[in-house]
């Protein structure tokens, strides 16, 4: 791995596929102008705010999302992580899917979100992701890049399950990506601390693109797309507005932290 800039994009996606893809392209263009070589899109980047409408349009959203990710990667000559977006599943629901694509538009990794967000929150909002989403059956895999490092991917709610990231770190992960649309209610208390915990316990960089603001009258996302270093230090925070967190991923920093705190070598159980 060599030093490079990574960008965690922050969007306010709505129930309008074309509008969302236009917003995403503007941000990708800006990130590449700033020198980013790895660009990550948030969960639900292509459609967010109306679950019934998303489910009805799942095939259209799936086709457009995958074409968009691959086209953008080729056009801007960068690696792009896009997802999650809906991909129709055999049981009549969808998989919440993320893919990693190289600068030639070739798919490197595909991950179907395993942990589904079925939660009743004290703010009155109820989320029942499993009503329309099929849980994936496999842990995320690792992409080994000589240029950009050993990259592991996950999606949003996965960040609450440390075993996912421990498995990736055991396989050699150096950079962990968590595209999310974290709720405003949970995000204010849990988002940053969870990302820092996953970074610290695995001595990995965390790249976390995010959704922000209102997507309809009720659904609001926390924002604060972040890049966090292996010591748990926040290198970039996008705040509450549409934009991005952009920071350098540096192999010497990774080596320094792992030398100073060799906790991965001290594991006793697993």
Helix ranges (H only) for 133-202 are 162-170, 184-202
Catalytic status, residue 113:
yes
Rounded CA-CA distance 135/97 in Å is 10
Catalytic-labelled residue, pool 113, 129, 174, 204: 113
Catalytic status, residue 156:
yes
Rounded CA-CA distance 121/184 in Å is 11
Angle between helices 162-170 and 184-202 in degrees, nearest 10? 30
In the beta sheet, which residues pair with residue 39?
A: 7, 80
Residue 258: burial class (beta carbons within 10 Å; 0-12, 13-18, 19+): middle
214 φ, ψ to 5°?
-90, 135
Rounded CA-CA distance 52/35 in Å is 38
Catalytic-labelled residue, pool 43, 51, 129, 174: 43
Query: For the chain, what's the residue count?
Result: 270
Q: 4-11 and 36-40: which strand pairing?
A: parallel
Catalytic-labelled residue, pool 70, 112, 129, 156: 156
Catalytic status, residue 62:
no
Instruction: Give the residue numbers marked as catalytic.
Output: 43, 113, 156
């Amino acid at each position: 791995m060599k030093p490079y800039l990574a960008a965690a994009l922050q969007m306010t996606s709505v129930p309008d596929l074309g509008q969302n893809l236009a917003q995403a392209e503007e941000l990708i263009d800006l990130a590449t102008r700033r020198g980013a070589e790895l660009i990550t899109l948030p969960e639900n980047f292509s459609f967010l705010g109306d679950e019934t409408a998303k489910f009805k349009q799942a095939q259209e959203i799936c086709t457009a999302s995958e074409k968009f990710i691959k086209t953008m990667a080729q056009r801007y000559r960068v690696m792009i992580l896009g997802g999650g977006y809906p991909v129709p599943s055999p049981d009549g629901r969808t998989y919440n899917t993320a893919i990693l694509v190289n600068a030639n538009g070739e798919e490197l990794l595909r991950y179907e979100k395993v942990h589904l967000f079925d939660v009743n929150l004290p703010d009155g909002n109820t989320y029942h992701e499993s009503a329309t989403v099929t849980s994936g059956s496999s842990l995320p895999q690792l992409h080994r890049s000589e240029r950009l490092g050993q990259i592991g991917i996950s999606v949003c709610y996965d960040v609450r399950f440390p075993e996912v990231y421990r498995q990736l770190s055991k396989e050699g992960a150096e950079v962990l990506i968590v595209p999310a649309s974290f709720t405003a209610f949970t995000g204010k208390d849990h988002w940053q601390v969870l990302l820092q915990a996953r970074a610290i316990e695995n001595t990995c960089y965390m790249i976390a693109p995010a959704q922000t603001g209102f997507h309809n009258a009720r659904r609001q996302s926390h924002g604060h797309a972040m890049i966090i270093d292996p010591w748990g230090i926040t290198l970039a925070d996008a705040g509450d507005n549409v934009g991005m967190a952009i920071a350098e991923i540096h192999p010497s920093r990774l080596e320094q932290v792992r030398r100073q705190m060799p906790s991965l070598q001290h594991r006793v159980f697993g």
